[in-house]
Amino acid sequence: MAVIRVNFVGQQDIADDLTLGFAKDKEKWAIAFASTGVEALNQMDSNGCDAVVTELQLPDMTASELLRKIQDIYPSAARLVLSEAGDRRAMIGSLGSAHQILSKPCNTDALKGQISKSLSMRLVLNDDNLHARIARVDKLPVLPSIYNQLVREMQSESASMQKIAALIRQDVAISARVLQMINSAYFGVSRHVDSVMQAVTLLGFDTVKSLVLTAGVFSQFKDSGLQGFLIDEIYNHSLSVGTNAQHYANAFGLSRGHSEEALTAGTLHDIGKLILVTNFESEVRQIISVMQESKLPLHEAERQVLGINHCEMGAHLLSLWGLSDHILEAVAFHDAPRGSADQVPNILAAVHIANAFDHDQRMPDRDPRFTTADTDYLNQIGLGNQLKYLRAVSSAPQPARVN
Secondary structure (3-state) at 250: helix
As a whole number of angstroms, the distance between CA 108 and CA 231 comes to 41
Which pLDDT value is given to residue 384? 87
Of residues 318, 313, 294, the one with CA closest to residue 304: 294
- For 36, counting Cβ atoms within 10 Å of its Cβ (0-12 exposed, 13-18 middle, 19+ buried), the class is middle
Q: b/e per residue, 136-169, with b = 16+ CB within 10 A?
A: ebbbbbbbeebbebbeebbeeeeeeeeebbbbbb
**CATH node for 231-394:** 1.10.3210.10
At 156, is the pLDDT very low, low, confident or very high (cuts 50, 70, 90)? confident
The residue ranking higher by pLDDT, 222 or 324, is 324
Cβ neighbours of residue 194 closer than 8 Å, sequence gap 6 or more: 179, 257, 260, 261, 263, 264, 265, 323, 324, 326, 327
**Mean of the pLDDT values across residues 18-23?**
73
- Structure confidence at residue 400 (pLDDT): 47
Over residues 334-384, the pLDDT tens digits come to 999 998 888 889 999 999 999 999 988 877 666 667 788 999 999 999 998
Topology (CATH level 3) of domain 4-124 = Rossmann fold (3.40.50)
Q: Where are the domains of the chain?
A: 4-124, 140-219, 231-394
DSSP letters spanning 140-162 = EE--HHHHHHHHHHHHSTT--HH
What is the structure's pLDDT at 401? 44
Residue 399 has pLDDT above 60, yes or no: no
- At residue 138, φ and ψ (nearest 5 deg) are -125, -10
* Predicted confidence (pLDDT) per residue in 259-299, tens digit: 989 998 999 999 999 889 888 889 999 999 999 899 888 88
